[in-house]
Amino acid sequence: MEIELKLLLAPEDVPLLRAHPLLAPAPQLLAMYDIYVDTPDLQLCRHQAGLRVRQVDGRWVQTLKAGGQVSGGLHSRHEWESELASPAPDLDALDAAIGRKQPVRALLRQPEIRAGLQEVFTTRMERTVWQLHTPQGDHIECVLDQGVIESGERSVPVSEVELELKQGQEASLFDVALLLLREVPLQLGHMSKAERGYRLAAPQPRKASKAQPLSLDAAMTVEQVFQAIAANCLEQVGGNQDGVIQGADVESLHQMRVGLRRLRSALGMFKALLSLPAELQDALDWLTGALGEARDWDVLAGQTLAQLEGEAGPGPGPGALAQLTQAAQELAQEKHRLAAQAVASTRYTALVLGLQRWLHGCDWRSSRTPRQLQRLDAGVHGFAQRTLRADQRRLMKRGKRLLHATPQQRHRVRIAAKKTRYATEFFASLLHTRKVRPYVGRLSVLQDALGAMNDVRVADRLLQELPNGQADLQLQAAFIRGYLAARAQAGDGQRRMDKAWRRLVKTALPV
């Protein structure tokens, strides 16, 4: 299993990297030429595998990578290598090296794969390699790659650092990365060269990264389950990083924010057994706030005001709604720009690296009591049951008088429903499958109904900010605020909320 951390840096910052005191050992310099092969319909890529033939120092080596995952910039993939006499791949040699239980072995045996391999893209890299050894005995290979990926007439430059764990603990990768970050502006890299090459060869629209289902084992400890849940949340956060940095992708920002909310919910769920260091909590709050502002303006411009078109009428003057929507869109764009700056910053990189270091190093154990350590090392079944029952009790208590609740009380019910849903989704693979879907579905319906009512509250606050000294918008904003308030009191939202609540109360907890 190859375990590496990928970091991106601007070409102009390479001298800073080379001068870093951590890279004092004399480096090895290599010139590499890689040929990535696949079938015309990219069957290897579709099965999350990549096959390359590399020429380095006059030798040819083929490498197959498959499976694995990417979380917080940490890439973990199965890897098999063998030497070649020429640039032509030798699938028989790979077949002999791959374990029998690996699905990619059957893939390589398919006749259409063997007969259809062709060049898809190439890479040309100038590689600098440092061998690093920590006082704890870890061996890490630090690689600087500068070059280009080419496919036909298209090309994309590469400037990146890879930290590969040769021996030792995964946490040491993050220690080294954080030391480099003190002197060099770095961003986390979530795509391998192979992924970038495939995107170059077969361009496709970028998609926001949604939460992936978790597969937990009933034999896992509470601590192992927390690590798996947190890694799953960070995978969703990191998967949307590039979309947010581009600045205009509403869905990527929304999904990154969802990933952060899920992570915060998980931290709350395990808070009796472990706690996030204060500096990481502060940075997490900062990032959540930066994304939250942009999301609020997105909802106002793209949903709340958009739904009023043709309904609210012209307002106090012709085009009032259109003018407000335009002003809200402009502010949303500005908030997206600020969010993009936040995610592209070294503070964000330090946050994610710090979170990963904390997770992989189990840094909480040193400050835990013997009783807490005992509970962390216990099986997860009892913890999951107690958590879900406690979440449901809190939700039922807060929702008893939901129909007559104040906006603040409804918001508390919404938060409780969201936390209950996240917890159920986290533990879903350990629960009664047939009961999970209806329970989560009805929690989602309630959450959406409460969310729509909360959007009106948020819209009222933002519309008060929107004129910001622009007299021509003040009357228009006041009219829309009044219209939204009147519509909310008409009862449709409350009826949907009440119906969703009554259905949820009748639904069994899936334990």
Q: Label each residue of 455-487 as H, E or C.
A: HHHHHHHHHHHCCCCCHHHHHHHHHHHHHHHHH
Q: Note if the pTM is more than 0.85.
A: yes
The CA distance from 39 to 215, in Å, is 31
Asked whether the beta carbons of 79 and 99 are under 8 A apart, the reply is no
From 162, 172, 174, select the one nearest 4 (Cα to Cα): 162
Asked whether the beta carbons of 301 and 259 are under 8 A apart, the reply is no
Stated as kind and residue range, the H or E segment containing 381 is helix 380-398
CATH 3.40.50.880, domain 2-204, yes or no: no
Tens digits of pLDDT across the chain (511 residues): 678 999 999 999 999 999 999 999 899 999 999 999 999 999 999 998 999 999 988 899 999 998 766 666 676 778 899 999 999 999 999 988 887 778 898 999 999 999 999 999 999 999 999 999 998 899 999 999 999 999 999 999 999 999 999 999 999 999 999 999 999 999 999 888 999 999 999 988 888 999 999 999 999 999 999 999 999 999 999 999 999 999 778 999 999 999 999 999 999 999 999 999 999 999 999 999 999 999 999 999 999 998 887 665 545 555 778 888 888 999 999 999 999 999 999 999 999 999 999 999 999 999 999 999 999 999 999 999 999 999 999 999 999 989 888 989 999 999 999 999 999 999 999 998 899 999 999 999 999 999 988 998 999 999 988 766 666 777 788 888 888 888 777 667 888 999 999 999 999 999 9
The CA distance from 355 to 279, in Å, is 10
C-alpha to C-alpha distances, 450 to 271, 306, 390, nearest whole angstrom? 26, 19, 21
Question: What CATH superfamily classification does 379-395+403-511 receive?
Answer: CHAD domain (1.40.20.10)
CA atoms within 13 Å, Cβ hemisphere of 283: 18
Asked whether the beta carbons of 102 and 27 are under 8 A apart, the reply is no
Q: How far from chain centre, in Å, is Cα 162?
A: 20
From 109, 61, 99, select the one nearest 78 (Cα to Cα): 99
What does DSSP say about strands 154-167 and 59-71: parallel, antiparallel, or unpaired?
A: unpaired
Asked whether the beta carbons of 169 and 202 are under 8 A apart, the reply is no
